[in-house]
Structure 1
């Protein structure tokens, strides 16, 4: 990892927000000028043309290049005239592509949501008892700016391999789902859902901790985690009869922990309205969502 005091992740998130504020006319010209003075130079100097950027980031970079003209980035003065030109370029050239990309994101999330719901329904209909664990994986604030998208992808690849091989804390795993996001405060992060065979695994809080510690090991100590199966967190949902974490019994729910609640909680991984958490930068071919496959040919009959 290249150590830097510059948090490019937060800069990209700010640029994404700026462009969308311009498109939806939620910001005035003086505010745009102030933000351009902060954002433009460091973003331009940190652009990696091997990576894929969201439409909003492409709009920010493309409009900035045109508005800059022959000026070098370090010599740019974002005065009223140049800022006005930048805003016009955003509105004229990128408004429709950005709105289209947001709609496409929402549609994809809706498709992911339906796919996840069907997958989990098959699992809960088949197994009499499953242990549901969710862990949110990210990076510590003090090290977040040292983690590139390349690092994040490498860490995710190692995690997926462990899940696939059902090693260590992933032993007796029957199902899984994951979704990656990018936000201003949390940087790159992953929501991970794990479903274990209930006859072989108990102690969901401990399992969540083990998974979080495995992530910290994968990331060489840069990682952080939130164990959603912590008793205090679960109590918030239990009080509303919405708890879907821990042991789920198909036929006779215990403490109102139902399969329906488990599915509803899991659908947080595919939320169409979380456009602000969408990835602003990815590696070519990088996926933002995935889940296991339900293969009926390898399972017992649903009536068993």
Structure 2
């Protein structure tokens, strides 16, 4: 794990948000100047620094909004050292003008992402339909894997990728907390508010072999903490109180699901679909590695 002096996930999230607020929410004036003076220097340090990184920025992909910010500021600032740059009214107005040139490409990225999510959702629904239809009852587990707030500034997208890669390898072996696993799906995201990297994971187990969804979720969370060497944490909705609140409203989609109970099956589909909701564009990754897969699921093997 890298020991950074900046928070890569938060900085990339904040710059992405700033550009979109300029283009689509009319961010202007002193509010824009203040945000630029707060974010520009640390972001440029992050983008160009080679001391804290073991890779060059060319090995990382950024969102269209961040690319627009980089191209526009390079044009405006030139070779001026970032610490000497002050974003006054005139300079911020010039930046707005430059950013407007990239509005179409940013919108196109959004349209492409939403289309891909719709395709992912179709494939996921077909996959889960087979999983649930193949057993009289299955155990559905849904968990969010993330990082401790006071550790996020140490992380890079490389760290996140490596942690997920290790976890997927453990899932494929189907041992310990993944024993009697019948299927799974995962989605990688970057929080909108704080920009934290996280993973949504939904799994199905053979309910004739595994009984406690709360215990399974707990052990998966502990396995994530082990994979991340103690800096990971998790959120589970499998405690009795949370499950009861969903159940009394007829929306419980985790735990034991009977294939001959249409409401339970539909609720389980709703849980799975959360991984591919097209209204979560703000939570897509703003920084990623080339060819990095941000969504996937297992393969259904009919018995």
TM range (shorter): over 0.9
Aligned-pair CA distance for 1:22 = 1.1
Q: How many residues align?
A: 293
> Could you tell me how far apart the structure 2 residues matched to 1:186 and 1:135 are?
19
SS of the equivalent of 1:114 reads helix
Aligned-pair CA distance for 1:221 = 0.2
1:166 equivalent in alignment to 2:184:
no
SS of the equivalent of 2:166 reads helix
1:130 equivalent in alignment to 2:138:
yes
Post-superposition Cα deviations, 1:186-233, rounded to whole Å, max 9, x if no partner, equal 600000001001111011101100000000000000000011212222
- After the TM superposition, list the runs of 4 or more consecutive aligned residues in structure 1 that deviate by more than 4 angstroms: none
> Could you tell me how far apart the structure 2 residues matched to 1:119 and 1:214 are?
25
Corresponding residue of 1:38: 38
Aligned-pair CA distance for 1:34 = 1.1
Matches within 5 A, 1:206-245: 206-245=215-254
Corresponding residue of 1:302: none
Aligned-pair CA distance for 1:99 = 0.3
1:270 equivalent in alignment to 2:276:
yes
Return closer, same or farther for 1:39/1:221 CA change in 2, 3 Å cut-off.
Answer: same
Corresponding residue of 2:147: 139
SS of the equivalent of 1:221 reads coil
What's the TM-score, normalizing by structure 1?
0.93
Q: Is the 8 A contact 1:109 1:271 kept in 2?
A: yes
Where does structure 1 lack aligned partners over 5 or more consecutive residues?
Answer: 300-304
Where does structure 2 lack aligned partners over 5 or more consecutive residues?
Answer: 48-56
Corresponding residue of 1:95: 103
What is the aligned-residue RMSD (CA, Å)?
1.4
Q: Is the 8 A contact 2:10 2:195 kept in 1?
A: no
What's the TM-score, normalizing by structure 2?
0.93
Aligned-pair CA distance for 1:252 = 5.0
Aligned-pair CA distance for 1:2 = 2.5
Corresponding residue of 2:291: 285
SS of the equivalent of 1:244 reads coil
> Could you tell me how far apart the structure 2 residues matched to 1:38 and 1:65 are?
17
1:76 equivalent in alignment to 2:85:
yes
Return closer, same or farther for 1:208/1:194 CA change in 2, 3 Å cut-off.
Answer: same
